[in-house]
């Protein structure tokens, strides 16, 4: 499967975060959102972003019926 690379707008469509929150997250000192700079643009590999997201602390809530 081909890697999915998105810019910051593409990432805001997939995560409930604003552009400002994503920029701030890329500069987090301990656990930044994984990204690459291409000129002045930030690019994100979605597979790495999902791994980053899954590594965040907190309990995964699942609903069982």
pTM, full prediction: 0.84
Say what the pLDDT of residue 31 is: 94
In 1-65, alpha helices (H): 8-12, 19-26, 46-55
pLDDT in tens, 8-59: 999 999 999 999 999 999 999 999 999 999 999 999 999 999 999 999 988 7
Bridge-based pairing of strands 36-38 and 41-45 is: antiparallel
């Amino acid at each position: 499967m081909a890697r999915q690379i998105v810019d910051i707008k593409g990432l805001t469509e997939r995560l409930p975060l604003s552009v400002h929150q994503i920029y701030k997250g890329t500069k987090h000192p301990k656990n930044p959102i994984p990204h690459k700079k291409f000129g002045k643009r930030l690019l994100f590999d979605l597979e790495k972003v999902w791994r980053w997201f899954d590594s965040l602390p907190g309990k995964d809530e699942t609903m069982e019926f």
